[in-house]
Amino acid sequence: MKGAKSKLTNVDEMLESLKLLSDKSRLTILALLKEKEMCVCDIVDLLETTQSNVSQHLKKLKTGGLINETKRKQWVYYSLNLDDKPYLNEILAQLPSMKERTNTLSSQSCD
């Protein structure tokens, strides 16, 4: 019975992760972070939305364990945290490349 509970927990964890991907902005943020680590201002520029909106999405992704944050000076940088979620790597691999979009960022965006 213990194994059944463990599998159920994994299904519940997968469900929560997949729910986070059901939002276009969050899915786009993960696609961007697949290319490289970014600060909020980079993501705001690329999504062409408000910092408040991006921050709300980042908070949900962080709470869901899908991203890491690292503080440098006054900025917080975000990166993917999918090591324990191989099923999400498969999904992200199917997303269109965001490399061209991330290359448009100015080098001093968050400095």
Number of domains making up the chain? 1
All residues at 6 or more sequence positions from 64 whose CB lies less than 8 Å from its CB, including other chains: 16, 17, 20
72 domain-assigned: yes
What mean pLDDT, rounded, does the chain reach? 88
Lookup: tokens for 84: 């324990």
30 domain-assigned: yes
108 domain-assigned: no
Q: What angle do CA 25, 28, 33 make, to 5 degrees?
A: 125
111 domain-assigned: no
109 domain-assigned: no
- Over the stretch 39-61, which tens digit does the pLDDT of each residue have? 999 999 999 999 999 999 999 99
What is the per-residue pLDDT for 52?
96
The CATH number of whichever domain residue 84 belongs to comes to 1.10.10.10
Owning domain of residue 51: 2-102
83 domain-assigned: yes
Lowest-confidence range among 6-10, 92-96, 98-102?
A: 6-10
What is the per-residue pLDDT for 26?
96
- Whether residue 1 has pLDDT greater than 50: no
